[in-house]
Amino acid sequence: MPGFFQNLCAVARRETRRLIHQPMYLVLMVILPVVSFSFFAILFGQGAIRNVPIAVLDEDNTTLSRKVVQMIDETPTAMVSYGIQDMAEGERLMREGKVVAIVQIPDSFEKSILSNSQTHLENYVSGTNITVNGLLSKDIQTAVTTFAAGIQLQLLMKQGLTEAQAMAQLMPVRFDKHVLFNPYINYGYYLAPSFMPMMLMIFVVMVTIFSIGTELKNATSRDWIQTGGGSIWAALVGKLAPITAVMFLISLVMLIINFKVVGTPLNGSLAVILLGTLLFILGYQSISVLIVSLLANLRLSLSIGGGYSVLAFTFSGLTFPIMAMWEPMQWVSRIFPFTYYTDIFVDQMLRGTPWVYSLPDLGWMLLFIVLPLLCLPRLKRVVTEEKFWGRL
Protein backbone atom coordinates (compact mmCIF):
# COMPACT_ATOMS: atom_id res chain seq x y z
CA MET A 1 0.00 0.00 0.00
CA PRO A 2 2.81 2.53 0.71
CA GLY A 3 4.16 1.76 -2.74
CA PHE A 4 0.73 2.42 -4.23
CA PHE A 5 0.54 5.87 -2.66
CA GLN A 6 4.10 6.66 -3.73
CA ASN A 7 3.24 5.73 -7.31
CA LEU A 8 0.01 7.71 -7.12
CA CYS A 9 1.84 10.79 -5.87
CA ALA A 10 4.47 10.40 -8.59
CA VAL A 11 1.77 10.37 -11.26
CA ALA A 12 0.03 13.33 -9.61
CA ARG A 13 3.28 15.33 -9.71
CA ARG A 14 3.75 14.40 -13.36
CA GLU A 15 0.19 15.45 -14.17
CA THR A 16 0.58 18.72 -12.27
CA ARG A 17 3.61 19.58 -14.41
CA ARG A 18 1.54 18.83 -17.52
CA LEU A 19 -1.26 21.10 -16.28
CA ILE A 20 1.19 23.93 -15.71
CA HIS A 21 3.13 23.67 -18.95
CA GLN A 22 0.31 22.98 -21.43
CA PRO A 23 -1.79 26.12 -22.11
CA MET A 24 -4.83 24.09 -23.20
CA TYR A 25 -5.38 22.98 -19.61
CA LEU A 26 -5.50 26.59 -18.45
CA VAL A 27 -8.05 27.35 -21.15
CA LEU A 28 -10.28 24.33 -20.44
CA MET A 29 -10.06 24.37 -16.65
CA VAL A 30 -9.94 28.05 -15.73
CA ILE A 31 -10.48 30.62 -18.48
CA LEU A 32 -13.47 29.16 -20.34
CA PRO A 33 -15.37 28.02 -17.21
CA VAL A 34 -15.03 31.40 -15.51
CA VAL A 35 -15.96 33.24 -18.71
CA SER A 36 -19.04 31.04 -19.17
CA PHE A 37 -20.11 31.50 -15.53
CA SER A 38 -19.76 35.26 -15.89
CA PHE A 39 -21.72 35.21 -19.15
CA PHE A 40 -24.70 33.46 -17.56
CA ALA A 41 -24.54 35.71 -14.51
CA ILE A 42 -24.86 38.73 -16.82
CA LEU A 43 -27.48 37.04 -19.01
CA PHE A 44 -29.77 36.27 -16.07
CA GLY A 45 -28.89 39.38 -14.10
CA GLN A 46 -32.36 40.85 -14.53
CA GLY A 47 -33.93 37.60 -13.39
CA ALA A 48 -37.58 37.95 -14.30
CA ILE A 49 -38.94 38.64 -17.78
CA ARG A 50 -39.84 42.32 -18.02
CA ASN A 51 -40.97 44.87 -20.64
CA VAL A 52 -41.80 42.54 -23.51
CA PRO A 53 -42.79 44.78 -26.48
CA ILE A 54 -46.39 44.58 -27.67
CA ALA A 55 -48.53 46.57 -30.11
CA VAL A 56 -51.99 48.02 -29.47
CA LEU A 57 -54.65 48.71 -32.08
CA ASP A 58 -57.04 51.14 -30.37
CA GLU A 59 -59.97 51.51 -32.76
CA ASP A 60 -62.04 53.35 -30.14
CA ASN A 61 -59.52 55.92 -28.88
CA THR A 62 -61.64 57.01 -25.91
CA THR A 63 -60.94 57.64 -22.25
CA LEU A 64 -61.77 54.07 -21.23
CA SER A 65 -59.83 52.48 -24.09
CA ARG A 66 -56.77 54.57 -23.23
CA LYS A 67 -57.20 53.57 -19.58
CA VAL A 68 -57.10 49.85 -20.36
CA VAL A 69 -54.02 50.41 -22.56
CA GLN A 70 -52.35 52.19 -19.64
CA MET A 71 -53.18 49.31 -17.29
CA ILE A 72 -51.71 46.79 -19.73
CA ASP A 73 -48.57 48.90 -20.08
CA GLU A 74 -48.19 49.02 -16.28
CA THR A 75 -48.04 45.24 -15.94
CA PRO A 76 -44.57 43.79 -15.21
CA THR A 77 -44.29 41.81 -18.43
CA ALA A 78 -45.96 43.92 -21.13
CA MET A 79 -44.64 47.17 -22.58
CA VAL A 80 -46.80 48.97 -25.14
CA SER A 81 -44.17 49.88 -27.73
CA TYR A 82 -46.31 50.48 -30.80
CA GLY A 83 -49.68 52.11 -31.43
CA ILE A 84 -50.69 50.67 -34.78
CA GLN A 85 -53.29 51.81 -37.31
CA ASP A 86 -54.45 48.43 -38.60
CA MET A 87 -53.86 44.70 -38.13
CA ALA A 88 -51.70 44.51 -41.25
CA GLU A 89 -49.16 46.77 -39.54
CA GLY A 90 -49.33 44.62 -36.42
CA GLU A 91 -48.81 41.45 -38.42
CA ARG A 92 -45.76 42.99 -40.08
CA LEU A 93 -44.27 43.98 -36.70
CA MET A 94 -44.85 40.48 -35.34
CA ARG A 95 -43.30 38.78 -38.36
CA GLU A 96 -40.29 41.09 -38.03
CA GLY A 97 -39.94 40.05 -34.39
CA LYS A 98 -40.47 43.56 -33.05
CA VAL A 99 -43.53 42.66 -30.96
CA VAL A 100 -44.69 39.47 -29.27
CA ALA A 101 -48.39 40.32 -28.94
CA ILE A 102 -51.08 42.54 -30.45
CA VAL A 103 -54.03 43.84 -28.41
CA GLN A 104 -57.03 45.00 -30.43
CA ILE A 105 -59.62 47.29 -28.81
CA PRO A 106 -62.77 47.42 -30.96
CA ASP A 107 -64.74 50.47 -32.00
CA SER A 108 -67.59 51.47 -29.63
CA PHE A 109 -65.64 49.96 -26.70
CA GLU A 110 -66.51 52.80 -24.32
CA LYS A 111 -70.06 53.12 -25.67
CA SER A 112 -70.76 49.44 -25.01
CA ILE A 113 -69.45 49.70 -21.45
CA LEU A 114 -71.47 52.81 -20.62
CA SER A 115 -74.62 51.23 -22.07
CA ASN A 116 -74.04 48.12 -19.95
CA SER A 117 -73.54 45.97 -23.06
CA GLN A 118 -70.94 43.25 -23.40
CA THR A 119 -67.79 44.11 -25.32
CA HIS A 120 -64.48 42.35 -25.85
CA LEU A 121 -60.76 42.78 -26.45
CA GLU A 122 -58.71 40.63 -28.81
CA ASN A 123 -55.23 39.47 -27.83
CA TYR A 124 -52.95 37.86 -30.41
CA VAL A 125 -49.87 36.31 -28.82
CA SER A 126 -46.97 34.62 -30.57
CA GLY A 127 -46.73 31.00 -29.48
CA THR A 128 -43.12 30.55 -30.56
CA ASN A 129 -41.92 31.06 -26.99
CA ILE A 130 -44.13 29.22 -24.52
CA THR A 131 -42.64 30.93 -21.46
CA VAL A 132 -43.10 34.48 -22.74
CA ASN A 133 -46.50 33.57 -24.16
CA GLY A 134 -47.72 32.33 -20.77
CA LEU A 135 -46.46 35.27 -18.75
CA LEU A 136 -47.63 37.88 -21.24
CA SER A 137 -51.08 36.35 -21.62
CA LYS A 138 -51.47 36.14 -17.85
CA ASP A 139 -50.51 39.78 -17.28
CA ILE A 140 -52.69 41.12 -20.10
CA GLN A 141 -55.64 39.04 -18.91
CA THR A 142 -55.11 40.23 -15.34
CA ALA A 143 -55.05 43.87 -16.47
CA VAL A 144 -58.23 43.50 -18.53
CA THR A 145 -60.00 41.55 -15.78
CA THR A 146 -59.06 44.19 -13.22
CA PHE A 147 -60.30 46.93 -15.55
CA ALA A 148 -63.60 45.13 -16.11
CA ALA A 149 -64.03 44.51 -12.38
CA GLY A 150 -63.40 48.19 -11.67
CA ILE A 151 -66.12 49.20 -14.14
CA GLN A 152 -68.58 46.73 -12.65
CA LEU A 153 -67.67 47.82 -9.12
CA GLN A 154 -68.54 51.43 -9.91
CA LEU A 155 -71.87 50.42 -11.45
CA LEU A 156 -72.82 48.37 -8.39
CA MET A 157 -71.82 51.13 -5.98
CA LYS A 158 -73.98 53.59 -7.96
CA GLN A 159 -76.89 51.25 -7.23
CA GLY A 160 -76.38 51.79 -3.51
CA LEU A 161 -74.15 48.87 -2.57
CA THR A 162 -71.16 49.40 -0.33
CA GLU A 163 -67.71 48.59 -1.70
CA ALA A 164 -67.56 45.39 0.37
CA GLN A 165 -71.01 44.28 -0.85
CA ALA A 166 -70.10 45.07 -4.43
CA MET A 167 -66.83 43.13 -4.16
CA ALA A 168 -68.67 40.16 -2.65
CA GLN A 169 -71.09 40.19 -5.57
CA LEU A 170 -68.31 40.52 -8.10
CA MET A 171 -66.19 37.77 -6.54
CA PRO A 172 -68.36 35.36 -4.54
CA VAL A 173 -65.42 32.93 -4.51
CA ARG A 174 -62.05 34.45 -3.71
CA PHE A 175 -59.00 32.73 -5.16
CA ASP A 176 -55.61 33.22 -3.52
CA LYS A 177 -52.50 31.97 -5.30
CA HIS A 178 -49.27 31.41 -3.37
CA VAL A 179 -46.13 30.79 -5.44
CA LEU A 180 -43.70 28.82 -3.30
CA PHE A 181 -39.88 28.81 -3.35
CA ASN A 182 -39.56 31.33 -6.22
CA PRO A 183 -42.38 33.85 -5.75
CA TYR A 184 -40.74 36.45 -8.00
CA ILE A 185 -40.75 34.05 -10.99
CA ASN A 186 -37.04 34.81 -11.23
CA TYR A 187 -35.57 32.77 -14.06
CA GLY A 188 -32.06 33.48 -12.85
CA TYR A 189 -32.79 31.51 -9.69
CA TYR A 190 -33.14 28.22 -11.51
CA LEU A 191 -31.63 28.75 -14.97
CA ALA A 192 -28.28 30.22 -13.87
CA PRO A 193 -27.73 27.38 -11.34
CA SER A 194 -28.52 24.97 -14.18
CA PHE A 195 -26.52 26.42 -17.07
CA MET A 196 -23.42 27.00 -14.94
CA PRO A 197 -23.16 23.35 -13.79
CA MET A 198 -23.83 22.33 -17.38
CA MET A 199 -20.77 24.31 -18.48
CA LEU A 200 -18.77 22.87 -15.58
CA MET A 201 -19.84 19.39 -16.69
CA ILE A 202 -18.79 20.01 -20.30
CA PHE A 203 -15.33 21.23 -19.30
CA VAL A 204 -14.83 18.37 -16.83
CA VAL A 205 -15.58 15.88 -19.60
CA MET A 206 -13.42 17.70 -22.14
CA VAL A 207 -10.37 18.09 -19.92
CA THR A 208 -10.54 14.51 -18.62
CA ILE A 209 -10.78 13.03 -22.11
CA PHE A 210 -8.08 15.43 -23.33
CA SER A 211 -5.78 14.43 -20.48
CA ILE A 212 -5.93 10.70 -21.22
CA GLY A 213 -6.40 11.05 -24.97
CA THR A 214 -3.27 13.13 -25.46
CA GLU A 215 -1.25 10.41 -23.73
CA LEU A 216 -2.41 8.04 -26.46
CA LYS A 217 -2.09 10.56 -29.27
CA ASN A 218 1.46 11.56 -28.30
CA ALA A 219 2.49 7.98 -27.42
CA THR A 220 3.41 8.97 -23.85
CA SER A 221 1.00 6.56 -22.18
CA ARG A 222 3.74 4.00 -21.45
CA ASP A 223 5.69 6.63 -19.53
CA TRP A 224 2.47 7.52 -17.69
CA ILE A 225 1.80 3.97 -16.50
CA GLN A 226 5.47 3.36 -15.71
CA THR A 227 5.42 6.43 -13.48
CA GLY A 228 2.57 4.70 -11.66
CA GLY A 229 4.73 1.65 -11.09
CA GLY A 230 2.81 -0.35 -13.67
CA SER A 231 -0.44 0.02 -11.70
CA ILE A 232 -3.24 1.31 -13.90
CA TRP A 233 -5.22 2.18 -10.78
CA ALA A 234 -2.42 4.35 -9.35
CA ALA A 235 -1.82 5.89 -12.79
CA LEU A 236 -5.50 6.75 -13.25
CA VAL A 237 -6.14 8.16 -9.78
CA GLY A 238 -2.89 10.12 -9.86
CA LYS A 239 -3.78 11.62 -13.24
CA LEU A 240 -7.33 12.58 -12.25
CA ALA A 241 -6.56 13.92 -8.76
CA PRO A 242 -5.03 17.29 -9.84
CA ILE A 243 -7.82 17.81 -12.38
CA THR A 244 -10.44 17.03 -9.74
CA ALA A 245 -8.87 19.51 -7.32
CA VAL A 246 -8.75 22.33 -9.87
CA MET A 247 -12.28 21.72 -11.14
CA PHE A 248 -13.63 21.61 -7.59
CA LEU A 249 -12.00 24.99 -6.90
CA ILE A 250 -13.57 26.31 -10.10
CA SER A 251 -16.92 24.96 -8.92
CA LEU A 252 -16.53 27.08 -5.78
CA VAL A 253 -16.18 30.11 -8.05
CA MET A 254 -19.39 28.98 -9.75
CA LEU A 255 -21.21 28.78 -6.41
CA ILE A 256 -19.93 32.20 -5.32
CA ILE A 257 -21.20 33.73 -8.58
CA ASN A 258 -24.54 32.00 -8.09
CA PHE A 259 -25.06 33.12 -4.52
CA LYS A 260 -23.36 36.53 -4.50
CA VAL A 261 -23.78 37.84 -8.05
CA VAL A 262 -26.98 36.23 -9.34
CA GLY A 263 -28.41 36.34 -5.83
CA THR A 264 -29.76 32.80 -5.78
CA PRO A 265 -31.05 32.04 -2.26
CA LEU A 266 -29.55 29.26 -0.17
CA ASN A 267 -32.40 27.83 1.87
CA GLY A 268 -30.88 24.40 2.50
CA SER A 269 -27.53 22.80 3.28
CA LEU A 270 -24.35 24.17 1.71
CA ALA A 271 -22.54 21.00 2.80
CA VAL A 272 -24.90 18.85 0.72
CA ILE A 273 -24.35 21.12 -2.30
CA LEU A 274 -20.56 20.89 -1.90
CA LEU A 275 -20.67 17.11 -1.54
CA GLY A 276 -23.00 16.86 -4.51
CA THR A 277 -20.67 19.08 -6.55
CA LEU A 278 -17.68 16.86 -5.77
CA LEU A 279 -19.62 13.71 -6.71
CA PHE A 280 -20.85 15.50 -9.84
CA ILE A 281 -17.26 16.18 -10.94
CA LEU A 282 -16.08 12.66 -10.08
CA GLY A 283 -19.08 11.13 -11.84
CA TYR A 284 -18.39 12.89 -15.11
CA GLN A 285 -14.69 12.15 -14.86
CA SER A 286 -15.59 8.47 -14.50
CA ILE A 287 -17.85 8.61 -17.54
CA SER A 288 -15.04 10.30 -19.48
CA VAL A 289 -12.61 7.53 -18.52
CA LEU A 290 -15.12 4.95 -19.75
CA ILE A 291 -15.56 6.76 -23.08
CA VAL A 292 -11.86 7.18 -23.84
CA SER A 293 -11.11 3.61 -22.72
CA LEU A 294 -13.68 2.14 -25.08
CA LEU A 295 -12.91 4.35 -28.08
CA ALA A 296 -9.14 4.86 -27.66
CA ASN A 297 -9.39 7.85 -29.98
CA LEU A 298 -9.02 11.45 -28.81
CA ARG A 299 -11.13 13.17 -31.45
CA LEU A 300 -13.96 10.62 -31.39
CA SER A 301 -13.96 10.55 -27.59
CA LEU A 302 -14.24 14.34 -27.43
CA SER A 303 -17.16 14.24 -29.87
CA ILE A 304 -19.04 11.51 -28.00
CA GLY A 305 -18.28 13.10 -24.64
CA GLY A 306 -19.52 16.48 -25.83
CA GLY A 307 -22.71 14.99 -27.25
CA TYR A 308 -23.41 13.05 -24.07
CA SER A 309 -22.86 16.20 -21.99
CA VAL A 310 -25.21 18.36 -24.04
CA LEU A 311 -27.98 15.74 -23.92
CA ALA A 312 -27.93 15.95 -20.13
CA PHE A 313 -29.70 19.31 -20.12
CA THR A 314 -32.49 17.97 -22.35
CA PHE A 315 -33.26 15.19 -19.87
CA SER A 316 -32.76 17.24 -16.70
CA GLY A 317 -36.44 18.17 -16.38
CA LEU A 318 -35.73 21.91 -16.28
CA THR A 319 -37.41 22.70 -19.59
CA PHE A 320 -39.83 19.76 -19.77
CA PRO A 321 -40.78 17.92 -16.55
CA ILE A 322 -39.39 14.39 -16.28
CA MET A 323 -42.68 13.14 -14.86
CA ALA A 324 -44.45 14.29 -18.06
CA MET A 325 -41.99 12.51 -20.38
CA TRP A 326 -42.70 9.23 -22.12
CA GLU A 327 -41.84 6.56 -19.55
CA PRO A 328 -38.81 5.12 -21.40
CA MET A 329 -37.42 8.66 -21.63
CA GLN A 330 -37.85 9.02 -17.87
CA TRP A 331 -35.47 6.09 -17.48
CA VAL A 332 -33.05 7.61 -19.99
CA SER A 333 -32.90 10.76 -17.86
CA ARG A 334 -31.37 8.65 -15.08
CA ILE A 335 -28.17 7.91 -16.99
CA PHE A 336 -26.99 11.50 -16.54
CA PRO A 337 -25.46 12.67 -13.22
CA PHE A 338 -26.67 16.15 -14.19
CA THR A 339 -30.26 15.05 -13.49
CA TYR A 340 -29.48 14.21 -9.87
CA TYR A 341 -27.29 17.25 -9.40
CA THR A 342 -29.99 19.66 -10.55
CA ASP A 343 -32.42 17.97 -8.15
CA ILE A 344 -29.97 18.62 -5.32
CA PHE A 345 -29.45 22.22 -6.44
CA VAL A 346 -33.17 23.00 -6.59
CA ASP A 347 -33.91 21.18 -3.33
CA GLN A 348 -31.15 22.80 -1.30
CA MET A 349 -31.20 26.30 -2.80
CA LEU A 350 -34.85 27.04 -3.48
CA ARG A 351 -36.97 24.53 -1.60
CA GLY A 352 -34.89 24.33 1.57
CA THR A 353 -35.42 20.56 1.62
CA PRO A 354 -33.98 18.67 4.63
CA TRP A 355 -30.63 17.15 3.69
CA VAL A 356 -31.87 13.60 4.22
CA TYR A 357 -34.10 13.88 1.14
CA SER A 358 -31.04 14.55 -1.02
CA LEU A 359 -29.34 11.31 0.02
CA PRO A 360 -30.90 9.23 -2.81
CA ASP A 361 -29.58 11.68 -5.41
CA LEU A 362 -26.15 11.59 -3.79
CA GLY A 363 -26.29 7.80 -3.79
CA TRP A 364 -27.13 7.61 -7.49
CA MET A 365 -24.25 9.96 -8.33
CA LEU A 366 -21.94 7.81 -6.23
CA LEU A 367 -22.73 4.84 -8.49
CA PHE A 368 -21.24 6.61 -11.51
CA ILE A 369 -17.85 6.71 -9.79
CA VAL A 370 -17.48 2.91 -10.03
CA LEU A 371 -17.63 3.01 -13.85
CA PRO A 372 -13.80 3.05 -14.25
CA LEU A 373 -13.69 -0.31 -12.46
CA LEU A 374 -15.52 -1.79 -15.42
CA CYS A 375 -12.96 -0.58 -17.94
CA LEU A 376 -9.61 -0.77 -16.09
CA PRO A 377 -8.44 -3.89 -17.99
CA ARG A 378 -9.38 -2.26 -21.28
CA LEU A 379 -7.68 1.01 -20.29
CA LYS A 380 -4.46 -0.79 -19.32
CA ARG A 381 -4.43 -2.56 -22.65
CA VAL A 382 -5.02 0.70 -24.52
CA VAL A 383 -2.20 2.56 -22.77
CA THR A 384 0.34 -0.26 -23.10
CA GLU A 385 -0.23 -1.53 -26.66
CA GLU A 386 1.33 0.59 -29.38
CA LYS A 387 -1.43 -0.07 -31.91
CA PHE A 388 -3.67 2.33 -29.96
CA TRP A 389 -1.11 5.15 -30.00
CA GLY A 390 -0.82 8.06 -32.37
CA ARG A 391 -4.50 8.23 -33.30
CA LEU A 392 -6.12 11.64 -33.69
Decide if 286 is inside a domain: yes
Query: How far is Cα 60 from Cα 109, in angstroms, rounded to an integer?
Result: 6
Same domain, 250 and 354: yes
Confidence of residue 8 (pLDDT cuts 50, 70, 90): very high
- What span, in angstroms and rounded, lies between the C-alpha atoms of 332 and 336? 8
pLDDT tens-digit profile of 50-104? 889 999 999 999 999 999 999 999 998 999 999 999 999 999 999 999 999 999 9
Q: Do the domain assignments include residue 176?
A: no
Sheet holding 78-83, edge to edge: 78-83, 52-58, 101-105, 122-125
Cβ–Cβ under 8 Å, residues 83 and 53: no
Beta-carbon contacts of 298 under 8 Å, excluding residues fewer than 6 positions away, are 209, 210, 213, 214, 216, 217, 292, 391, 392
In a domain, 181, yes or no: no
pLDDT single digits (tens) 331-382: 988 999 999 999 998 899 888 889 999 999 999 999 999 988 889 999 999 9
Q: Are residues 84 and 28 in the same domain?
A: no
Query: Of 206, 114, 185, 199, nearest to 155 (Cα)?
Result: 114
Kindly indicate the confidence band of residue 391, based on its pLDDT and cuts at 50, 70 and 90: low
Q: What is the pLDDT of residue 2?
A: 67
Range from 38-52, 153-167, 288-302, 310-324 carrying the lowest mean pLDDT: 153-167
Q: How much of the chain, in percent, has pLDDT values that exceed 70? A: 98
- Tell me the pLDDT tens digit for each residue of 179-217: 777 766 777 787 888 899 999 999 999 999 999 999 999
Whether residues 245 and 217 share a domain: the answer is: yes
Count structural domains, the chain. 2
Q: Are residues 223 and 240 in the same domain?
A: yes
CATH of the domain at 131: 3.40.1710.10
**177 is a domain residue:** no
Are 313 and 196 in the same domain? yes
Confidence of residue 388 (pLDDT cuts 50, 70, 90): confident
For residues 26 and 207, what is the distance between their CA atoms, to the nearest angstrom? 10
Q: How many residues does the chain have?
A: 392
Which of the listed residues 170, 195, 226 is the one where a domain comes to its end? 170
191-202 burial, b if ≥16 CB within 10 A, otherwise e? bbbbbbbbbbbb
Same domain membership, residue 193 and residue 153: no
Report, as an integer, the average pLDDT of 30-49: 89
Average pLDDT over all residues of the chain: 89
The verdict on 18 and 91 lying in the same domain is: no
pLDDT tier, 150 (very low <50, low <70, confident <90, very high otherwise): confident
Identity at 43, one-letter amino acid code: L
* 204 sits in which H/E element: helix 188-217
Q: Could you say which DSSP state residue 55 is in?
A: E
The pTM for the full model equals 0.86
Both 325 and 286 in one domain: the answer is yes
Position 324 scores a pLDDT of: 84
Instruction: List the domain range (segments joined by +) for residue 166.
Output: 52-170
DSSP 224: H
pLDDT tens, residue by residue, 302-337: 999 999 998 998 888 877 888 888 888 889 889 999
Q: What confidence tier does 1 reach under pLDDT thresholds 50, 70, 90? A: low
Higher pLDDT, 210 or 391: 210
Q: Is 125 within a domain?
A: yes
pLDDT of 138 > 60? The answer is: yes
Domain shared by 114 and 142, yes or no: yes
In this prediction, residues 221-249 reach a mean pLDDT of 93
pLDDT of 95: 92
Over residues 6-23, the mean pLDDT reads 93
34 and 57 share one domain? no
28 with 84, same domain?
no
- The type of residue at 117 is S
* Domain match, 193 and 313 both: yes
